[in-house]
């Protein structure tokens, strides 16, 4: 673990996301688990990252990959036991890795005891723990909000004659954070995990924490395209980023500070102006509100450079940037930009100012994989058959080995198809592999304060090349990235330290080769 004195570990650190179902199976069930993560910790530690973020491992009916939770302080038996989790935390800490968990505050499972009580009667003790409303005058849903997975964001309950809100699947009723008892119960759950040694949380879908209590209709989005998903046919003006949610974020941060400054990473999809709100009014919100621009941006150097400048200007004084290339919800970078550009994309992620989060398998150059209908897991895909929507293609199990059954992921029948990517074992000792490149990038980042904590300065951006400088302790490094399949002039001259081109002669770097990224001491 990096010792940075007064600098928090996460400012110079790197976070690695693990989706447990797809990481490593230790039982032959076909699905990954906690002991599987323990088995592969040496791979993660050797990358040189500082923390693992583990997607939900709580008890769940698995209607949405574990994001439908029945117990916020337990462990899903598919993944193991609380003793397995304790051993995982101990092993991770021994390997120099922090452990972050997913916290899912906006909704529970419809099988959670809270919701079973809530729907039992209109006068049930926990009725107001969820968002219930009468039907509209025509008998339909209370407003026009659309679920993130398609269809109305409201589900009718025959027994009590009201609708309940479900921003995601109907099996994920929205919790009512305006009820103080809900807020206290959820904060208590966070306390439990802090006491179990967790170093922080990635907070899921926090923009939906307190949807508009007047239930005003969302306006239509005139620029909507089907590929954006059904929910984006409306602007989320009243169903997300509402004012009452921000004091709740401040309370989460206060609790994190009570436990020695644990890290909170916030998932809040929105405009850059909206994302900035989650830093808090006095940096009392999330330390790292996720910045997803590199996932959705056109792969164009001018656009990316302009966004970096705008983002850097908008971050509040004392705030810290962060960057993400991929995650469990979005198409893999190698599928979005191609295998050649994916190498430069990793260089970009690991050299920008701010904390990078890596998505498992990107260090192997994994791509999206087709998933037959009978293997679909994602409710987004199941609710929209034949459309190509869905997140299963990015959640394919990690290919650890070639000779072993199940490519080293499982000895059983995998819950999703196996990857076609080159295995970790095959890439291990190959200096030309993506894995070797990522390790080299992280090693250089750790060796050079300019790349981890240094300043950022734009050097060049045109139709084909992006170059920027990082500087610390009077040492200036320049990162130059060629976004084209043609050779381009170097924007600056200097001693080359690392290239994305395998086995490149670093003593003879005078131009940028096609699709090449180079780091120079300039």
pLDDT one-digit tens code per residue, 130-186: 999 999 999 999 999 999 999 999 999 999 999 999 999 999 999 999 999 999 999
| Spatial separation of the C-alpha atoms in residues 386 and 202, rounded to whole Å | 32
Predicted confidence (pLDDT) per residue in 340-370, tens digit:
999 999 999 999 999 999 999 999 999 999 9
User: Which of 213, 258, 413, 430 does the annotation list as catalytic?
Assistant: 258
Residue 258 annotated in active site: yes
The pTM for the full model equals 0.97
Q: What is the pLDDT of residue 20?
A: 98
Q: Would you state the pLDDT for residue 117?
A: 98
Task: Using alpha carbons, select from 417, 376, 45, 432 the residue that is nearest to residue 407.
Answer: 417
CA separation, residue 295 to residues 330, 369, 421, 462 (Å) = 7, 18, 21, 20
**In the 8-state DSSP scheme, what is residue 38?**
H
Report d(CA 359, CA 80) in Å as an integer. 23
Structure tokens at 239: 């169903």
Residue 234, SS3? Answer: strand
**324-335 b/e (C-beta count within 10 Å ≥ 16 → b):** bbbbbbbebbbb
Please give the pLDDT value at position 4: 40
Q: Is the dihedral of CA 364, 369, 374, 378 positive or negative?
A: positive
Report the distance separating Cα 148 and Cα 152, nearest Å: 9
Task: Provide the pLDDT for residue 236.
Answer: 96
pLDDT of residue 2: 33
* pLDDT score at 338: 97
Which residues in the chain land under pLDDT 50?
A: 1-4
Torsion 405-407-408-410 (CA) sign: negative
Residues 6 or more apart whose CB falls under 8 angstroms from that of 412 comprise 25, 27, 28, 29, 30, 406
Q: Which of 64, 68, 84, 204 is catalytic?
A: 204
Q: Residue 289: CA atoms inside 13 Å, Cβ hemisphere, count?
A: 28
């Amino acid at each position: 673990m990096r010792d940075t004195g007064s600098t928090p570990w996460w400012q110079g650190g790197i976070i690695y996301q693990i989706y447990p179902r797809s990481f490593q199976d230790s039982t032959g069930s076909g699905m990954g688990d906690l002991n599987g993560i323990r088995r592969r910790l040496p791979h993660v530690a050797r990358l040189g990252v500082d923390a693992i973020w583990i997607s939900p491992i709580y008890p769940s009916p698995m209607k949405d990959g574990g994001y439908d939770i029945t117990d916020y302080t337990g462990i899903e038996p598919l993944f193991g036991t609380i003793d397995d989790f304790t051993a995982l935390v101990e092993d991770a800490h021994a390997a120099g890795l922090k452990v972050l968990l997913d916290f899912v505050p906006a909704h529970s499972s419809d099988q959670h005891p809270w919701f079973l009580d809530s729907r039992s009667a209109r006068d049930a003790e926990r009725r107001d723990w969820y968002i219930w409303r009468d039907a509209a005058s025509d008998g339909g849903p209370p407003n026009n909000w659309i679920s993130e997975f398609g269809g109305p964001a409201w589900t009718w309950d025959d027994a009590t004659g009201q609708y309940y809100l479900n921003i995601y699947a109907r099996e994920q009723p929205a919790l009512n954070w305006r009820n103080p008892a809900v807020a206290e119960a959820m904060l208590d759950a966070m306390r439990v995990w802090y006491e179990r040694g967790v170093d922080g949380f990635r907070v899921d879908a926090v923009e939906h924490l307190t949807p508009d209590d007047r239930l005003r209709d969302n306006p239509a989005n005139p620029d909507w395209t089907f590929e954006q998903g059904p929910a984006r046919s409306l602007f989320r003006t009243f169903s997300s980023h509402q004012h009452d949610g921000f004091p709740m974020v401040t309370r989460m941060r206060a609790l994190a500070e009570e436990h020695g400054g644990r890290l909170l990473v916030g998932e809040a999809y929105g405009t850059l102006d909206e994302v900035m709100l989650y830093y808090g009014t006095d940096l009392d919100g999330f330390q790292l509100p996720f910045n997803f621009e590199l996932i959705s941006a056109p792969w164009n150097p001018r656009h990316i450079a302009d966004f970096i400048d705008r983002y850097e200007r908008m971050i509040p004084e004392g705030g810290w940037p962060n960057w993400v290339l991929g995650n469990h919800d979005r198409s893999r970078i190698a599928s979005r930009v191609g295998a050649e550009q994916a190498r430069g994309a990793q260089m970009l992620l690991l050299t920008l100012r701010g904390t990078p989060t890596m998505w498992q398998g990107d260090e192997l150059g994994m791509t999206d994989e087709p998933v037959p209908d009978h293997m679909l897991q994602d409710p987004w895909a199941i609710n929209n058959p034949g459309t190509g929507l869905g997140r299963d293609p990015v959640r394919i199990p990690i290919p650890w080995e070639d000779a072993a059954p199940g490519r080293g992921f499982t000895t059983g029948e995998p819950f999703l198809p196996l990857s076609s990517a080159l295995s970790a074992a095959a890439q291990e000792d190959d200096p030309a592999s993506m894995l070797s490149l990522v390790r080299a990038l992280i090693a250089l980042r750790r060796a050079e304060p300019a790349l981890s904590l240094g300043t950022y300065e734009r050097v060049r951006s045109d139709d084909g090349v992006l170059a920027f400088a990082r500087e610390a302790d009077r040492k200036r490094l320049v990162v130059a990235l060629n976004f084209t399949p043609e050779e381009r002039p170097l924007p600056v001259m200097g001693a080359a330290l690392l290239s994305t081109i395998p086995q490149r002669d670093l003593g003879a770097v005078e131009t940028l080769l096609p699709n090449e990224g180079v780091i120079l001491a300039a």
